[in-house]
């Protein structure tokens, strides 16, 4: 079955870059996602990448995908205190009986110190 894993905690200083890592097992994943969850809030879609791409940049966010190693990372440049949140990696399997299902990692708690 599908499995997605992330490190649980990351602490950085304001202004530094943050890198959140994720590994997944399903080689048939079509899309991979990063969601952000702030305290008491729902999930905000930050960005996503198609499985045939290896990089996507969107303002301060850079997603790197190593499909061979099934490794996904999210880099946040110039991290701000407002970036403190839980970041979830998720993969999408568009085939078979799992159509549309997202499988989530356990989330990485990012803490940004002034």
Partner 1 sequence: SAVISQKPSRDICQRGTSLTIQCQVDSQVTMMFWYRQQPGQSLTLIATANQGSEATYESGFVIDKFPISRPNLTFSTLTVSNMSPEDSSIYLCSVEGGGRETQYFGPGTRLLVL
The binding site for partner 1 (CB under 8 A) comprises: 30-31, 33, 35, 41-45, 48, 50, 88, 90, 92, 94, 99-102, 104-107
At its nearest, how many Å lie between partner 1 and the CB of residue 11?
A: 18
At its nearest, how many Å lie between partner 1 and the CB of residue 42?
A: 4
Q: Toward partner 1, which CB reaches closer, 19 or 94?
A: 94
Q: Toward partner 1, which CB reaches closer, 19 or 45?
A: 45
75 neighbors 18 (Cβ within 8 angstroms): yes
Nearest residue to 29 via CA among 79, 82, 89, 81:
89
- Alpha carbon distance 63, 48 (integer Å): 8
3-state helix, strand, coil in the chain (%, to 5): 5, 55, 40
At its nearest, how many Å lie between partner 1 and the CB of residue 66?
A: 20
109 neighbors 8 (Cβ within 8 angstroms): yes
Q: Toward partner 1, which CB reaches closer, 26 or 48?
A: 48
């Amino acid at each position: 079955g599908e499995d997605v894993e992330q490190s649980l905690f990351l602490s950085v200083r304001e202004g530094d870059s943050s890198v959140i890592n994720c590994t997944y097992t399903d080689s048939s994943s079509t899309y991979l996602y990063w969601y952000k969850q702030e305290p008491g809030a729902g999930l905000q879609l930050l960005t996503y990448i198609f499985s045939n791409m290896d990089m996507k940049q969107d303002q301060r966010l850079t997603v790197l995908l190593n499909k061979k190693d099934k490794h996904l990372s999210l880099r946040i440049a110039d991290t701000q205190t407002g970036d403190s949140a839980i970041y979830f990696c998720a993969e999408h399997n568009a085939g078979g009986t799992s159509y549309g299902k997202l499988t989530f990692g356990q989330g990485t708690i990012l803490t940004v110190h002034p």
